[in-house]
Amino acid sequence: MDLTTATARFIEQKFADEGSGHDWAHIRRVWLMARQLAANSPDANVEITELGALLHDIADWKFHGGDYEAGPRAARAWLESQHASEELIGRVEAIIREVSFKGQGVETPVTSLEAALVQDADRLDAIGAIGIARAFAYGEHKGRPMHDPAVPPVRHESFASYQKSTAPTINHFYEKLFHLKDRLQTPAARAVAEERHAFMEAFVARFLAEWDGRA
């Protein structure tokens, strides 16, 4: 079995009963999208891209006491157990460090094409119909209200401030989801984002109209 297939099986088993928005279904979608983006990028290393996508949420800091190195460390342990080269492990670790959104005012530069593709694929899964469903699922998981007109959206200028947000779910659209299409790295991902973004805008407009009894 090749390393990509072995990694997919390992992650599928590890995330089988995870309900926090970082489930196998999310990782699988990111993997397939990243693979598709890589297939259309002649300079991309497809194996590195696929491994980065499969391992990008292996140990999210949000569920590991804010430890940002938990993810790269867990990926390294897995890849070492498969006798992967030090060069490959370093490249995958870098992708995991670079992928996350960290607030509207916080830049998230990437140091490789493969990290750009995984970051784009992960962001595409946070918008559109799936993105809407994931946002409400996350809000529910955290016990947040769907909407509270008395709580205005905030522009987070630091990762710390973004992490501390306990805002209602509708605010998350203004604090993250509506900005993602302009934070994509590749033209192919931007093309996919258009329709998803428009759908999300229509959804929120309709939600607010119904909330106010205007529709």
Residues that bind Ni ion (CB under 5 A): 57, 122
Minimum gap (Å) between residue 1 Cβ and ligand ADP: 27
Does residue 59 touch ligand ADP according to CB under 6 A? Answer: no
Per-residue binder mask for ligand ADP (CB under 6 A), 86-115, x = binder: --------------xx--------------
Per-residue binder mask for ligand ADP (CB under 6 A), 145-174, x = binder: --------------------x---x--x--
What does the DSSP assignment read for the chain? --HHHHHHHHHHHHTTT--SS-SHHHHHHHHHHHHHHHHT-TTS-HHHHHHHHHHTTTT-GGGTTT-TTHHHHHHHHHHHHTT--HHHHHHHHHHHHH-----TT-----SSHHHHHHHHHHHHTTSHHHHHHHHHHHHHHTT--S--TTS------SHHHHHH----HHHHHHHTGGGGGGG--SHHHHHHHHHHHHHHHHHHHHHHHHHTT--
- Residue 93 interacting partner from Ni ion, ligand ADP, none (CB closer than 5 to 8 Å by kind): none
* One of 98, 122, 132, 188 touching ligand ADP (CB under 6 A): 122
Minimum gap (Å) between residue 152 Cβ and Ni ion: 27
Residues contributing to the site for ligand ADP (CB under 6 A): 21, 57, 60, 100-101, 122, 126, 131, 134-135, 138-139, 165, 169, 172, 176
